[in-house]
Structure 1
């Protein structure tokens, strides 16, 4: 039984380590509101629909005292989730386990006292998932006028 528990713990931590990924970001002088507006338009212009918006910054600010903190991490922080049926099908036909990456997310953040806004997304594994990374890169760049 101890060997099973050790093997399970090792597999869990290996999975956690694999889940940690790099991030691709772009920083701009545009306002947070302008970047969010640009992102929403870029997603729609790509023929996609926003599934959800997570207001991460608001949640962290609202709950900071509840978890014993007084630190404001973000002035603004939102994450937009969406999917592409065509690209998702392609990457999951290549490897059904690519389901772990769906839906796809792009975040927009601004730190307190900073006039810069950052837009970004996770760096996906090489192979089939590069199609998703290319899609997200195009959307993020379009959101801030880099395309």
Structure 2
């Protein structure tokens, strides 16, 4: 084991040369580390740790969307707003120059739980920016047989954990309804 020695005292110590086996081990560790770093760069965007997604195969998009609305209402939450995200992208593609068919279907359901909003706001008034909550239901054009449900993690607080639990219950209830 090599200990740290201040520069002024190092003049009095003999040079330490690692053995060939230690150099090979160090090179191997460096190579594995570099490979890990490179592979991390090429992970798909869906691997974002702030986004939770679930896949549903073998269901119709409208059935999943209806089950999601019901699951939100089952939590006692009203005033659900629906954004037709894929329609908006198709409509704006000619003006903005993006591909019009990024999604086969995509909707975002936004809603507010008064209990969750109050809890988050008590923790910090700035948490107002975390409301409303949203869950997306979408089919990607490249694989339109799979329907995805996705939501963002909330704040890293106890109130945020309650919000995450609420969102997970809604998604789980949606999936369970379709079985």
TM bucket normalised to smaller:
0.7 to 0.9
Query: Which secondary structure state, in structure 2, belongs to the residue aligned with residue 124 of structure 1?
Result: coil
**Residue 129 (structure 1) aligns with:** 160
CA distance in 2, matches of 1:104, 1:52: 10
CA distance in 2, matches of 1:84, 1:115: 32
Does residue 99 in structure 1 map to residue 117 in structure 2? no
CA distance in 2, matches of 1:115, 1:70: 20
Query: Which secondary structure state, in structure 2, belongs to the residue aligned with residue 145 of structure 1?
Result: helix
Query: Which secondary structure state, in structure 1, belongs to the residue aligned with residue 80 of structure 2?
Result: strand
Larger RCO (alpha carbons 8 Å, 6+ apart): 1
Any unmatched runs of 5+ in structure 1? 1-19
CA distance in 1, matches of 2:49, 2:134: 13
CA distance in 2, matches of 1:76, 1:131: 29
Contact 1:110/1:117 (8 A) holds in 2: yes
Contact 1:87/1:132 (8 A) holds in 2: yes
Once the two structures are TM-superposed, the CA of residue 70 in structure 1 deviates from its matched residue by: 3.8
CA distance in 2, matches of 1:80, 1:43: 9
TM normalised by structure 2 equals 0.66
Once the two structures are TM-superposed, the CA of residue 49 in structure 1 deviates from its matched residue by: 1.1
CA distance in 1, matches of 2:79, 2:148: 19
- Aligned residue pairs: how many? 128
Classify 1:44/1:83 alpha carbon distance in 2 versus 1 (closer, same or farther; 3 Å).
same
Does residue 42 in structure 1 map to residue 58 in structure 2? no
**Residue 17 (structure 1) aligns with:** none
Once the two structures are TM-superposed, the CA of residue 71 in structure 1 deviates from its matched residue by: 4.3
CA distance in 2, matches of 1:64, 1:24: 27
Two-structure CA RMSD over aligned residues (Å):
1.9
* Greater gyration radius: 2
Contact 1:43/1:50 (8 A) holds in 2: no
Any unmatched runs of 5+ in structure 2? 1-47
Runs of 4+ in 1 over 6 A off after TM superposition: none
Which among 44, 51, 55 is matched to residue 27 of structure 1? 55
**Residue 141 (structure 1) aligns with:** 172
Does residue 84 in structure 1 map to residue 113 in structure 2? yes
User: Which deviations, in whole Å up to 9, do the C-alpha atoms of 1:55-91 show, x marking residues without a partner?
Assistant: 1110001111111234410010000010111121112
